[in-house]
């Protein structure tokens, strides 16, 4: 499995690419990832203009270190092929494809991307929002190491609709852990769904903390007011960083040379904790580097 360079994706902010004001504002917002939406947030009449705006934004070079992703229209729509092509040739960091059903979709899209121009580095992100995608989580994720697929993005608004269920977060607990397990089994990143009530920071913090505990990398956002909460919750906390640094120092201490298990702060600490501690410190450093 190839190891990707780690980059923070705590806050992944959607915006309709038809909204030029939002695109402009995003240049100065502290979101780790910007998702220019061409799909559900854009009316059919505005699709072509939105695509043009997203491509202009990709080419502008005005978004600093933010990762730039384009959510294109689904494979069954008349816009899909051109959306995919334009996002790739304008060098989006990734295309996010909605309504993925199974592994065949991933192979088909990744092949088109390779054929467009193999030198383009654009990655493929999959929306996990259809019942079939949930049934196929493992076989979709398994394509990560073999295709351009790197990331799952949960879409619980659509999934609730497809299930004929109420949008009650409790329903999705088992799906969330299954999706994280599938993603991590094959080295993928995974981003939680949106929190629709953007005037409720406490609700957003609660959902973000739940997702963080389950292992998610970050949260999909719909409004600038949500960015700070996600950035705070998905960043390693000061106490955890201090603990990780103590573990790293203890393993580096010559007195512990060659040992696989030691005691740090009264707790059994193994090499796996050492690796985990190094990962946590690297994450904190990558977040600091974004701000520079």
DSSP string, 48-112: HHHHHHHHHHHHH--STT-EEEEEPPPTTSTTHHHHHHHHHHTT-SEEEESS--SHHHHHHHHHH
> Minimal distance in Å, beta carbon 47 to ligand COA?
14
The interface partner of residue 158, options being Mg ion, ligand COA, none and the CB cut-off 5 to 8 Å by kind, is Mg ion
Establish if 155 lies at the interface with Mg ion (CB under 5 A).
yes
Q: Quick check: helix, strand or coil at residue 143?
A: coil
Q: Applying CB under 5 A, which of residues 37, 105, 158, 243 lies at the interface with Mg ion?
A: 158
Does residue 242 contact residue 249 with C-beta atoms inside 8 Å? no
Residues 6+ apart with CB under 8 A from 202: none
Smallest distance, Å, CB 224 to ligand COA? 5
Of 34 and 106, CB closest to ligand COA = 34
Closest distance between ligand COA and the C-beta of residue 248, in Å?
A: 38
* Binding site residues, ligand COA, CB under 6 A: 13-16, 21-22, 25-26, 37, 40-41, 194, 222-224
CA atoms within 13 A on the CB side of 99: 12
The sign of the torsion formed by the CA atoms of 222, 153, 282, 234 equals positive
Question: Which residues is 284 bridged to in the sheet?
Answer: none
Sign of the torsion angle spanned by Cα atoms 251, 256, 258, 263: negative
DSSP state of 239: H
Number of chain positions touching Mg ion (CB under 5 A): 3
Choices 50-58, 62-70, 158-166, 223-231 (CB under 5 A): range interacting with Mg ion:
158-166
The residue among 133 and 142 lying less far from Mg ion, judged by its C-beta, is 133
- Both tokens of residue 292? 């520079």
Contact code string over 99-138 relative to Mg ion, x by CB under 5 A = ------------------------------x---------
Distance CA 2, CA 144 (A): 10
Which of Mg ion, ligand COA, none does 184 bind, CB closer than 5 to 8 A by kind?
A: none
Give least dist CB 226 to Mg ion, A.
18
Q: Which residues contact 261 (CB under 8 A, 6 or more apart)?
A: 268, 269, 270, 271
Q: Decide whether 40 or 200 has the Cβ nearer to ligand COA.
A: 40
Tell whether residue 37 is a contact of Mg ion (CB under 5 A).
no
Compare residues 39 and 243 and give the one whose CB is closer to Mg ion.
39
Question: What CA–CA distance (Å, rounded) separates 218 from 196?
Answer: 16
Provide the minimum distance between the beta carbon of 200 and ligand COA in the complex, in angstroms, as a whole number: 13
Q: How far is the CB of 17 from Mg ion (least distance, A)?
A: 15
Which residues make up the interface to Mg ion (CB under 5 A)?
Answer: 129, 155, 158
């Amino acid at each position: 499995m190839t190891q990707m360079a780690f980059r923070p994706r705590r806050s992944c902010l959607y915006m309709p690419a038809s909204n030029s004001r939002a695109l402009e504002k995003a240049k100065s917002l502290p979101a780790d990832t910007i998702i220019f939406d061409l799909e559900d947030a854009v009316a059919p009449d505005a699709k072509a203009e939105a695509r043009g705006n997203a491509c202009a934004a990709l080419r502008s070079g005005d978004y600093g270190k933010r990762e730039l992703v384009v959510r294109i229209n689904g494979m069954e729509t008349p816009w899909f092929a051109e959306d995919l092509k334009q996002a790739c040739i304008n060098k989006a960091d990734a295309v996010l494809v909605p309504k993925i059903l199974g592994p065949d979709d991933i192979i088909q899209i990744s092949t088109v991307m390779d054929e467009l121009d193999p030198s383009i580095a654009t990655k493929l992100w999959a929306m996990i929002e259809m019942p079939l995608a949930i049934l196929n989580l493992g076989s979709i994720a398994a394509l990560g190491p073999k295709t351009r697929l790197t990331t799952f993005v949960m879409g619980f608004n659509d999934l609730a609709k497809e299930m004929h269920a109420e949008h009650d977060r409790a329903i999705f607990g088992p799906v969330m852990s299954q999706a994280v397990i599938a993603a991590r089994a094959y080295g993928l990143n995974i981003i939680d769904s949106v929190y629709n009530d953007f005037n409720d920071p406490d609700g957003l913090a609660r959902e973000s903390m739940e997702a963080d505990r389950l292992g998610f990398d970050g949260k999909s956002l719909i409004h600038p007011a949500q960015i700070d909460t996600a950035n705070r919750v998905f960043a390693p906390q000061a106490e955890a960083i201090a603990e990780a640094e103590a573990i790293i120092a203890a393993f580096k201490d010559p007195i512990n040379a060659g040992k696989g298990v030691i005691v740090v702060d009264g707790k059994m600490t193994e090499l796996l904790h050492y690796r985990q501690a190094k990962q946590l410190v690297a994450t904190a450093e990558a977040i600091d580097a974004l701000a520079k």
